Amino acid sequence: MRSAARAQHGTRLWVPAVIFLAAGSVIPLLMTLWFSTLRYNLTAPEQDGFRGFQNYEFLLGDPAFWASLRVTLILVGSVLLITVSLGVLAAVLFSERFAGRGAARLLAISPFFVMPTVSALVWKDLLMHPVYGVFAIVSRRVGGTAVDWFGDYPLLSLIVILSWEWLPFSLLILLTAMQSLDQEQLEAARMDGAGAIARFMWVTLPHLRRAINVVVMMETIFLLTVFAEIFVTTAGGPGTATTSLAFLIFGRALLQFDIGGAAAGGVIAIILANIVAALLARTFAPQLET
């Protein structure tokens, strides 16, 4: 009787979780798979019908898709390189004692709590605007010419914005890891004659390895879906210079009203994201266990 009661109680516990998972993930995924096989355009409902894999064939044959994939990979790789490198250096700096360290830490981490749309607007209209932006004013004051950042260097501008947004996250994780660094190891290395660079390379950096892996995994997952910053600043342009995979899917669905093509793009994006996640897991999981 007791075992039956326990089994019934256990069933009551997992049933809501299964329902929530099905409603939030499984059902939308199945609907996306179904829509990806249809000719489903909101501007021409009379032409709707089953297309099979034609949406996938059209998307994979579209140069815009491969351009968006290239933009996505460049954004992810560049932002990871900048945020991890500067995050490690900033974590080492902020782990040292100096006057005003608490306020400096707070200011360094605060950009992470700004909404992506707001931060994109700040960079676009307050800092990088070619007429009244801070960078343009400073450039003219020193005798230079103003730069149209989003016109001449759109992808670089996005990399700068995303790096500014995600550097505090990297700093926060790495700074937390620095707190557990055994100071006796550093002192022993110092007494053995190791300089600052040697101590960093052979003591500090190996200690931060797990934290760096976490930063890379988390940032990669979120950077693959970047949308708000692109929508607010460049709208994917000029041309397709800053059109990421997520923005391409948005354009298919809500600008061209091609729901079938957008669904196919979403399925491909899910597959690519899972491949990247699997590669990261295979690369970093053994290191995280050690």
Give me the DSSP letters along 35-104: HTTEE-BTT-GGG-EE-TTHHHHHHHT-HHHHHHHHHHHHHHHHHHHHHHHHHHHHHHHHTS--TTHHHH
Question: What CATH architecture applies to the domain 63-289?
Answer: Orthogonal Bundle (1.10)
Give me the DSSP letters along 226-255: --HHHHHHTTT-STTTT--HHHHHHIIIII
Task: Please give the Cα distance from 107 to 109 (Å, whole number).
Answer: 6
Measured in whole angstroms, the distance separating CA 180 from the mean position of its chain's CA atoms is 27
Task: Please give the Cα distance from 53 to 268 (Å, whole number).
Answer: 12
Predicted confidence at residue 12, as pLDDT, reads 61
C-alpha distance from residue 270 to each of 19, 33, 105, 185 (Å): 22, 11, 36, 44
Least confident range from 39-43, 133-137, 202-206, 284-288: namely: 284-288
CA-CA-CA-CA torsion sign (153, 158, 161, 162)? negative
CA-CA-CA-CA torsion sign (18, 19, 25, 31)? positive
Give the SS3 label for residue 260.
helix
User: CA angle, corner 187, sides to 182 and 193, nearest 5?
Assistant: 135
Quick: pLDDT tens for 82-129: 999 999 999 988 888 888 888 888 888 888 889 999 999 999 999 999
Measured in whole angstroms, the distance separating CA 164 from the mean position of its chain's CA atoms is 12
Give the SS3 label for residue 165.
helix
The residues facing 41 across adjacent strands are: 258
Q: Which of 168, 78, 49, 65 is nearest to 114 (CA)?
A: 168
Task: Please give the Cα distance from 196 to 203 (Å, whole number).
Answer: 10
Residue-wise over 87-100: b if at least 16 C-beta within 10 A, else e? Answer: bbebbbebbeeeee
pLDDT band at 207 (very low <50, low <70, confident <90, very high): confident
What is the chain's mean pLDDT, rounded?
Answer: 85
Give the SS3 label for residue 11.
helix
Predicted confidence at residue 75, as pLDDT, reads 94
Q: Give residue limits of the domains in the chain.
A: 63-289
Task: Please give the Cα distance from 190 to 198 (Å, whole number).
Answer: 9
pLDDT band at 287 (very low <50, low <70, confident <90, very high): low
Q: Number of helices (H) and strands (E) in the chain: give both, helices first.
A: 16, 2
Q: Which residue has the higher pLDDT, 136 or 3?
A: 136
Query: Percent of the chain having pLDDT more than 90?
Result: 40
Predicted confidence at residue 112, as pLDDT, reads 86
Supply the DSSP symbol for 180.
T
Supply the DSSP symbol for 258.
B
Q: Quick check: 278 pLDDT over 90?
A: no
